[in-house]
Amino acid sequence: MRAITFDIESISDSVVRGHVDVNEQELIVVAIHDSLTGEYTSFSREELPRLWPILEHADFLIGYNSDSFDIPLLNRYYPGDLTQVHSLDLLVEVQKVLGRRLRLQALAEATLGRGKSGDGMKAGEWWREGKQDLVRKYCIDDVRLTRELYDYAIEHGKLKFKDLRDIRDIKLDTTHWGVRSSAVLPSLTHAFPI
């Protein structure tokens, strides 16, 4: 099974009370981990035509806050419909069990013992300053954390978070992760040659 773990960095002048409106965002970088090759790669907006065939050949997409942010934003650039690719949003899985949202930083620190390499709100600033390599690295680092959290959950059936002073477990049923019901969605229509 080919799984693509991915994350997006975007830019906008519009942030309302800390909430980012996906419709006001412009994509600047997409980073992926391809389970087929084991490689981490990034794509700028101009390089997206190289990304589409990879996503179209994926059996499974893995992201963090991807259902409400990454996939809708990426779909604005894709000539097809990426919601047709089976996906797993780790944030949604955590929220189902915990009843609230957690930041990627909180899960990574408690589960993996390390956090993010930067602040996503700075990515746009870095991009404007010409620090594209820094944005790509930061985005790839987030993909690496997401992939490692996914792998940890598969192996241990849980993730961890810090609740006040204590580290607590979030028990997750991972048996359905990566398994696609044929009744859920039709096959993806490929926008690019195979």
Ordered by start, the domain boundaries in the chain are 3-171
User: For residue 116, what pLDDT is reported?
Assistant: 73
Q: Share the mean pLDDT of the chain.
A: 87
**How many whole angstroms separate alpha carbon 122 and alpha carbon 113?**
23
The pLDDT of residue 69 is 93
Query: pTM surpassing 0.85?
Result: yes
Superfamily of domain 3-171: Ribonuclease H-like superfamily/Ribonuclease H (3.30.420.10)
Least confident of 107-111, 154-158, 184-188: 184-188
Structure tokens at 5: 């773990």
